[in-house]
Structures are given as C-alpha cells and as structure tokens.
Structure 1
Amino acid sequence: MQRQVNALRELLDAASRRIIDILDILITQEDWITIGELSSMMGASERTIAKDVDVIRGRWGQFLKVEASPNKGIRIHSRNVSALGRVVIDIFNDSTALRWLEEIFFNPGKEIEFFVEKLFVSRSTLIRALPGINRFLSERGMAIRYKGNRYQLIAEDEAYLRYFCAGFMIELYGLHPEQFDIGEDFDLAGSLLIKTLRQHLSREEADIVISDEIAILYCTMLYIVSLIRENQGYTIPACHNVNQEIDAEIMSGITCRFPKISKANLSAIDQMVIKQYCGWDSEEERALVEKQGEAFWKRIFGRLEAQLDDGMLRKLVFYIKATYLITKCRPYETSSLFDRIRYFSIFLKKHNDSAYAL
C-alpha cells in the first residue's frame, strides 16, 4: 500500500513510523483487519506488526478503545482525527531528533553538552541525528549551523522560519500549549495579538479570526516564536511603524520576559502577523481574489441549493482571501507532521460523498 508520508516523519525511528502508519489504516476503516493483512499492506513481517500492535494496545488501548481478537484481528472504535492527533503528539514527543530541534530553537548558541544533559541522550546520538534534520531543513531554506561546538537554527527567510516553527510547536504541544513552559508567554502574546488584529482589521474580520480556535492558536504561537527570535537577535526589519499603543505596564511585562524587545521589534512582529490578512501588493490583486472568492462560494451554495446571505458571504470570502495571503507568505509547507486536512477529507468522503464531490 502506497501512502503519502509527511517529510518530518522521516526523522522518527522505524517503529514510530510504522505505528503511525498502522493507526492511519485503523482509523480510516470500520471493519476488523488481521495482522496478516496489516503485514501485507505495511511491507513488514507479521511478527514485527504484532509487536507494534501490542505497543498500540498497551499504551493507547483504552484511549482509542482498541478491540483485538485472535481470529478477527484488530479494530479501534475511536475513529476520529482528534484521537489520532493526541496519539501522534505522544509519538513525536518521544523523538530525540524533534526534541533536539525544539531545544536548539529555544537555546541557540549552546554547546552540544547542554543538549545532551537536557535530552538525556549521548553525544553520539545527537551527532547521528543532525544530518537527517539538516536534510529536511535544507529543502525549506533552513539549517542547523554549528560552529565551535555551538548550535543555532538559521534560515534564508527569517519570516518563513517563524511560520514553520509556529506550526512545529503546535504539532509538539497540541491544542493546549499554555500547559507547557511557554504558558506565561502564551497569555502575553495572546493579548498583544488581539490588540494588533483589532487595530488593523475591520471589526467583523477581527472577530472572525479571534473566534477561530485554530487560527488564533496559530497566530498566538507565531507571535511567541517571533518574540523569542527577536529577543535572541534574529530580527526582521519593519517597513513601517505600526503605532500600536502599548501602555507602560504591558511594555514592562514584555521586557521582563524578553529584555531585548523594543517597540521597534513589536512593529516588525505585528507587520509579519498582520501580513497574513492584509498583505496585498495592490488593490487590483485584492479585488481579483475577492471576486473569485465570491464566485466560488456562490457556485458551491448554488449546487447545494442552500441560502447564502451577504453576511455569510463576506465571512466566507474573508477565509478565501486569508488562505490566499497565508499561502503567499509561505514558500514551503509549514505543517509537516500531522495532516489533519487529509484525515478530514477521508471521513467526509466516507460519510458524505456528495459534499466531498463538491
């Protein structure tokens, strides 16, 4: 069976990749599947697959409601994307390569002994992992550079590095990153982000972004990543002053956590975040995308024979424009671990084929 595998999964060990692939099969079908069938689909021995299935049952059996039978095989009853996402996050967090990439982001310029102690692994383990990490990063204009035994994450395009790292951190932390060490920063970045959105978007557009759990999570993480990078000295020049009014108390809170951050740094961050929603090169470009967006949604609703009022159309067209601008901002894919859209499309096709066909 041939499957599309996201590139960063190659940094996981073979057993972890197989477990994800097995779950990929189980979550998209309702019937039983035998170890022999899984073995054939995976191209691995039955003994190897049986061990992987034992790991799934032992570690996530209750959560996924795994059912096993000596004759029928195995199936899971929690066949939803969020359940698989939680399991995959566990697997990602077991990966030395992915955790090292995370640590280098937070601690640039440290010697390898620092990371050995943080990750509880040997020096040789980290050295062996580095070429694979850099192969992946190089395809996206990034690299871990080491000089004098000191390591840092660099990029041809600093803005893209931040987009990538925001998505990467969400993949590692899940939908509740405030529970981790960045919790305090998350609250701070969230308040700054909402001020920025309110200042540069219409009330209706800002409300759309703020009420979208995934969008606000990603933008908040992007703001945190940008604060960290700016504070570390990896700056992006601001083309203009965004003139965000920040009172002394909030600025004091920022400099307490990020002592090298100034209002100029905040202008650069605001500019990058808001570019995802206002980054038009011309009025003609904006008008063309808006026109095409309106035509798209009217065609969809016409085929569904559903009513589309002006308010709903404005919101849906805003999503089209935002998707266009976000794609324009990012020369490479930023979500590299867990393809939620693919799983959603599989379930949509299975349960509502007519909507999928649209």
Structure 2
Amino acid sequence: MKRKKEKAMDMHSMLTTAEKRRLTIVETLLERKTWVDLDELAKIASCSTKTLGTDFQFFDMTWQEYFVVEFSRKSGVRIHVNHERKMNCIYGETLQNSQFFQFAEMLFFKPYETGSYWLSELFISESSLYRMVQTLNGSMEQVGIEIIRQPFYLQAKDERWLRLHFTNYFDQAYGIGRWPFKEFQQEPIVRMIGEIAKKLNMRLSDEVVFNHSLSVGVAFVRMSQGFRLELNDKKNHEIDEYILGYEEEIQEILPFRLPTDWHKELAQMIFHPYYGWDNEQEMARINGYVSDYLDVISKEVGLELVEEDRAAVQFEVVSLYTKYKIFPYVRYSLFDNLKFQAERVFENYPNFSREIVGNLQLMEKRTHFPWYSKMLYHIIDILFVEWSDLPIKLEKRRTKVKMLIVSTHGQTHAKILKGILDMQFHYRVEMEIYEGSVMNKKTFPNAESYDVIISTEPLLEFAREKLFVVDNIPNVIQLGEIAKEIDRLQLKLHVGTPKK
C-alpha cells in the first residue's frame, strides 16, 4: 500500500477569536506543565495581559470543575488539572457553543433546506451565511467534504469520509453519556454491536462500543436522506448475516424503511478489519508485521503478553491500518486526547516508550505505512488498555528508591509509618527501619546508602535534600512531596524498563 499524506481539517479556523485564544492558553499551560510567565503567555496567545486576566476569570467561572489556574507574582501562572479525562468536556462544550460547528451539525440533520430557511433559522444576514459557508468549506474540503448550496446539503468525495468525520465529531461533542440522534434509540444498536462482537471474539470497551453506535447512527441518518455507500466487497460474509439477523428489531426503532444492503454498509464501516483488504496477501503481510512487533516489544521489556491480550492488541493495531485506508485523516476535532495521555506514558515510562517508538519507526520503514508518524498515540492507548496490568508490571520493574524510616516514637510507630508508606509507594520503594536510638549518633547509618530519609524530627545529621520530616501520621501534602521526589529520582535514573 502506498503511503498516503494525512490531511487535517482546520477546526480551529471555525472558532471565534476568544475561543481560539482560550484554548491556546489552556493548551500552552498543559504542555508546559510548570510556571509560565504572563508576558510570554500573552505573546503566545496574541493578546494583552489584561485580556489574560479576563480569560482567567472566564476559566474560574466556567471551567473550574476541569482545572484551576494558580497565580504567582514571581513565577507567573500554571495549571492544575482536576481530572484529565474531563479535559475532553472543555472541547465538547466549545463545539456545542460554536455557531460554525452547530451549523455544520444542523446541515447534517437537515439537508435540502433553502438559503431563506437558514437565514430565518440562524437569525443572520445573507452575507453572514455566505461567510459561514465559505469558512466551513475551507476547512471541510481538506477532508473531502463540501457544502452544496441551493438547496444546502453535505456531500463527500467518498461517503465513508463524511460518515467517519461526523462519527468523530459526535464522539467529541457529545461524549459517552449523550446520544445525538433523537429519531431513534441507542440501546438496540449497542446490544447488536455487543452481541456480534462476542460472536467474533472481539473484546470491545464501552468507549469503542459507543463510537461504533455513533457510526451506526450516522449511517442511518445518511441512509434516510438517500446517501449510500459504494460497497468495496459485495460478497456475502458471516458478519453481514449476523447484522441482518437484527433487521426486525432495528426496523422497529427507525422512522424510515431500511434500504437494500443496509447491513452490508454497517458491516464494512464497523467491522472494517474483516473487509478493508486488497487481497489475502496484504492481510497476511500486515498481520505478520504487527505480530513481529509485539514479539519484539514483549521480549525487549521482559514482560509476557498473554494470548488473550495479544489477540486483542493485534486486532486493534491492525484495525488502525484498515481504518486509515478508509479515512486517511486526523480523527479528532479540536483536542487530541490520545496525545495528552501518551505524554504521561513518555514521562512515567521513558525506556518502555523508547522501545515502542523505535520499533514503530522500523515497522513504518519496512511497510511504508505511517505506524509511527500517524499511529503512535493510538498504539500507546491500545497497549495500555488491552495489555492487562501493564502499568503495574512496569512499576514492578522500576529500580526501587531506597528509603530509610526514622521515628523518635519507637519501633512500633516506625512499623506503622512503614505500613502507611508501603500502601502509598508499594512497588516503588525499598524501605528499611532505623532500629537504633536517635540519641546515639554513632549508630546512625550512612546517609549515602539511601535516596530518601523519612523522619518524624528534623535531624541535622542527614542531608537536607534527602530528608523529609513528616507528622506521626503523614498528611496528604507530605505524602505528595515524597511522591514527587520518588518520581524525580526514578526519572533521573532512567528507570521503567531495561535499556537495550
């Protein structure tokens, strides 16, 4: 397969100046992960520091549940994320509140309306409508989608592109808890997908099932409007028959008659890994490369990939290949959540990350397919979702930080303290209790033998940079500071998995 150049739909061009600026501020603070000077941030966001202050007030009033911005006269500002997965909601809210995105969504649901209808519906002038259409076309044409006027409707060079684009849009704009299709129910669709996946021995998460259900919803809307797929594979497959078996149940929830071959369209969109091949040789070749890649990763990091997990990882990685053949474009609208999560993997497991990256680069070179340049974040996500207990296994392989516990309240309390710290840092530290008396300086152990020293008193005999003074029962702040030091030490030692 020839390597295709990935195109990106410029979603940010459809935001207002304020929306783009606020997202730029948030993304900059997330990327830096530390203090950012206000003047520098204002320059990056192309605004004044006064405008930054207004945006910070907006964040505090509107997005406080997602993150908090901390201020320092000396250092500037930094961001504290309350829950990383919730960051998606910021972008979902932005999509929902954007006039451009809402117009595109309305065009999806209401094709063939006239310009007069949209002028009345949107309460805008003819020139404003013209500018909106021009802006949308300027962005969507990059992924093969176009707004046709008089009457207005959406058209794509390949119907698959439009369906996958709107599936991705609804996924980000609505999230797993909301269903955008008011004309029919979600539950029968989810049940159909889940039951067929079991027949095929596919291990699907709720997120994947939800995304597939959106794909079905988008397909039904387009079918009801008269838009059909040109089927790549017209032969009958068992999956076609599985889906056809739900025809009566699905027909009951729909306000239109299912067209001929509706089940084949769903099969080739949802279960594309079974259809998206030019020939059997291509399928065998790509599966072979992915299998070899997993062998190398498992061997190099010294971690077993059990058969069930391996089958799930293999299937999901190969699915990236067949989906890219269908839709060679970026799969997010405004926020690449997979990149956000992958950066945490790079930070916490640097050596494991190097193995993933290095071997993907090699596979990309051999197959002439963008495994590394386009699929890296997806593959990291697959590994950490489908490889059972992978983070725990990696933690166990870290070089443990050596910790000495010194208590002035006796050995019983020292053991209690050890138990508390063990619950917090079980796989990450090697702990030892000082059994002597702090009154006898001659029996003190050599501080050079330890990375961290925990004490209930500020003992001057130990180096200040290693000493952490805690309460009899360490509080959350003290435990947090110890955790940061353990992180720093382990990253300094380049621990995570052995080097090649």
Q: What is the deviation of 1:171?
A: 1.7
Does the 8 Å contact 2:9/2:140 carry over to 1?
Answer: no
For residues 211-290 of structure 1, the aligned pairs below 5 Å read 212-238=205-231, 239-240=234-235, 242-243=240-241, 244-246=243-245, 249-254=248-253, 257-290=254-287
Q: What's the counterpart of residue 17 of structure 2? A: 14
State how far apart, in whole Å, the 1-side matches of 2:273 and 2:127 are.
Answer: 41
Q: What's the counterpart of residue 152 of structure 1? A: 153
Q: Check 1:308–1:351 CA distance in 2 against 1; reply closer, same or farther (3 A cut).
A: closer
Structure 1 residue 188 corresponds to structure 2 residue 188: yes
- Please identify, of 328-337 and 97-106, the stretch whose mean Cα deviation from structure 2 is larger: 328-337
Structure 1 residue 356 corresponds to structure 2 residue 353: yes
Alignment TM-score, normalising by the size of structure 2: 0.63
For residues 327-342 of structure 1, the aligned pairs below 5 Å read 327-342=324-339
- Please identify, of 284-293 and 94-103, the stretch whose mean Cα deviation from structure 2 is larger: 284-293
Q: What is the deviation of 1:55?
A: 1.6
State how far apart, in whole Å, the 1-side matches of 2:310 and 2:108 are.
Answer: 41
Q: Check 1:233–1:190 CA distance in 2 against 1; reply closer, same or farther (3 A cut).
A: same
Q: What is the deviation of 1:286?
A: 1.4
Q: What is the deviation of 1:314?
A: 2.1
Name structure 2 gaps, 5 residues minimum: 1-7, 356-500
State how far apart, in whole Å, the 2-side matches of 1:251 and 1:309 are.
Answer: 37
Residue identity matched to 1:292 = Y
Residue identity matched to 1:193 = I
SS at match of 1:185: coil
State how far apart, in whole Å, the 1-side matches of 2:112 and 2:125 are.
Answer: 19
Selected match of 1:23 from 5, 23, 26:
26
SS at match of 1:77: strand
Q: What is the deviation of 1:64?
A: 1.4
Q: Check 1:63–1:121 CA distance in 2 against 1; reply closer, same or farther (3 A cut).
A: farther
Q: What's the counterpart of residue 177 of structure 1? A: 178
State how far apart, in whole Å, the 2-side matches of 1:71 and 1:309 are.
Answer: 52
Of the two structures, which has the highest relative contact order with CA contacts closer than 8 Å and spacing of 6 or more? Answer: 1
- Please identify, of 181-190 and 86-95, the stretch whose mean Cα deviation from structure 2 is larger: 181-190
Q: Check 1:252–1:165 CA distance in 2 against 1; reply closer, same or farther (3 A cut).
A: closer
- Please identify, of 263-272 and 224-233, the stretch whose mean Cα deviation from structure 2 is larger: 263-272
Q: What's the counterpart of residue 308 of structure 1? A: 305
For the aligned residue pairs, the C-alpha RMSD in angstroms reads 2.6
Structure 1 residue 98 corresponds to structure 2 residue 108: no
Residue identity matched to 1:354 = N
Q: What's the counterpart of residue 319 of structure 1? A: 316
Q: Check 1:122–1:352 CA distance in 2 against 1; reply closer, same or farther (3 A cut).
A: farther
Does the 8 Å contact 1:27/1:80 carry over to 2?
Answer: no
State how far apart, in whole Å, the 1-side matches of 2:330 and 2:68 are.
Answer: 33
For residues 50-69 of structure 1, the aligned pairs below 5 Å read 50-69=53-72
Residues matched between the structures, number? 342
Q: What's the counterpart of residue 78 of structure 1? A: 81
Q: What is the deviation of 1:287?
A: 1.2
Output one character per residue of 1:257-295: Cα deviation in whole Å (capped at 9) or x when no partner: 231323532332223322244422222111111111111
SS at match of 1:67: strand
State how far apart, in whole Å, the 2-side matches of 1:347 and 1:313 are.
Answer: 23
Identity rate, percent: 20
Q: Check 1:294–1:90 CA distance in 2 against 1; reply closer, same or farther (3 A cut).
A: same
More helix by share: 1
SS at match of 1:281: coil
Q: Check 1:29–1:306 CA distance in 2 against 1; reply closer, same or farther (3 A cut).
A: same
Alignment TM-score, normalising by the size of structure 1: 0.86
For residues 31-46 of structure 1, the aligned pairs below 5 Å read 31-46=34-49
Residue identity matched to 1:152 = Y
Q: What is the deviation of 1:120?
A: 5.4
